[in-house]
Amino acid sequence: VSAPRSEVPRPPEPWPGAAPGEPAAEPTALAELADALAEQPPRIPSKYLYDERGSALFDRICDLPEYYPTRSELAIMEQHAAEMARALGPDATVVEYGTGTGRKTRLLLAALDRPCAYVPVDVAAEFLSAASARLAAEFPAVAVVPVWADFTRPFLLPPDVPRGRRRVAYFPGSTIGNFEPDEARALLAEMRDRVGPGGAALVGVDLRKDPRVLEAAYDDAAGVTARFNLNVLAHVNRRFGLAFDPSRFRHRAPWVDRAGRIEMRLVSTVRHEVDVAGRRYRFEPGDYILTEYSHKYRLTEFAALAQTAGWRTRRTWTDAEARFSVHLLET
Ligand code: AVJ
């Protein structure tokens, strides 16, 4: 993450995607996918999990009995948002990295003392506009400024975003866990530059725990996470005119202890081949495609990571079962 490119924020509008059977509208994206599939193990970038169906399935995941992170983080926000707000002070401008259903954001904005502005940054345009409209209606005194951008790439905020007394980067959902530690550090450093001196960050971080609890959370009995993971194949098929056969893969989500993460995998059940952008990819039974990492941290581990990105950890909050954590970082 380096100097901002000329990625001028555009008003929310649907993300252009290739229609079924159409040639790829995004040649660089197809090349990126082909490169990711050529890695060992092959990968499909996680962003392709979140098409419309994927986002709807993820919403269902959040309500599953096994998927504790959403409930645990909400419990933390319900219990401690007032304390967070006191620590952050009045007149803050909140820059949210990604947008969810807005439940946690709502709790934060409601607790803050006269928040100045709310700036959600998301690559999913429709999702972004819908979430922004809802929050703008609920918080009429807050300037809501949606920014359509991929926050993992350099981006600019509109020049007219009110500065407020303090900028706060909000990054809930343990989305930070989807990045490898080096990328997570780069993203935290970008946030630090973004909020500037005197700024702060609130980051939701899922914690290390019994692998059985973790594996159940990512391979639920109802099979919703399996469908969510397999949907990535239907999505790239549609977007790029490919011919992955979802029935030749099955969902697996093992805890990989040495890496401290859950790995979402699509394991090939048969020997077969798939062509992507003029290259042929061969899968033996047991070969797998990686679709998502979900790193889990110890509190001290995350504080150390944040420190190497130029932050000090001012406070952390956890839920009653110490499953999830929210970190208040200061410059
Ligand atoms: C929203 C990306 C943080 O990693 O826990 C849930 C996504 N993947 N089940 C996570 C997810 C499988 C989730 N994040």
The ligand 1 atom nearest the CA atom of 69: 5
Per-position pLDDT tens, the chain of length 331: 444 444 433 333 322 322 344 344 456 889 999 999 999 999 999 989 988 899 899 999 999 999 999 999 999 999 999 999 999 999 999 999 998 778 999 999 999 999 999 999 987 788 888 899 999 999 999 999 998 888 888 888 888 889 899 999 999 999 999 999 999 999 999 999 999 999 999 999 999 999 999 999 999 999 999 999 999 999 999 999 999 999 999 999 999 999 999 999 999 999 999 999 999 999 999 999 999 999 999 999 999 999 999 999 999 999 999 999 999 999 9
Is residue 132 within 8 Å of residue 58, measured between CB atoms?
no
Supply the DSSP string of 257-307, one letter for each residue: GGGTEEEEEEEESS-EEEEETTEEEEE-TT-EEEEEEEE-B-HHHHHHHHH
Is residue 236 within 8 Å of residue 66, measured between CB atoms?
no
Residues forming a β-bridge with 330: 200, 312
Ligand 1 pocket mutation, candidates 57, 178, 213, 214, criterion most atoms within 8 A of CB: 178
Quick check: CB of 72 below 6 Å from ligand 1?
Answer: no
Q: Residue 66: which of 323, 325, 328, 268 has the closest Cα?
A: 323
The ligand 1 atom nearest the CA atom of 229: 12
Quick check: CB of 229 below 6 Å from ligand 1?
Answer: no
The ligand 1 atom nearest the CA atom of 173: 3
First to last CA, the chain: 18
Nearest Cα residue to atom 2 of ligand 1: 175
DSSP state of 166: E
Sign of torsion, CA 263 266 269 270? negative
Is residue 168 within 8 Å of residue 88, measured between CB atoms?
yes
Copy the structure tokens of residue 125. Answer: 């345009």
Is residue 159 within 8 Å of residue 129, measured between CB atoms?
no
SS3 at position 160: coil
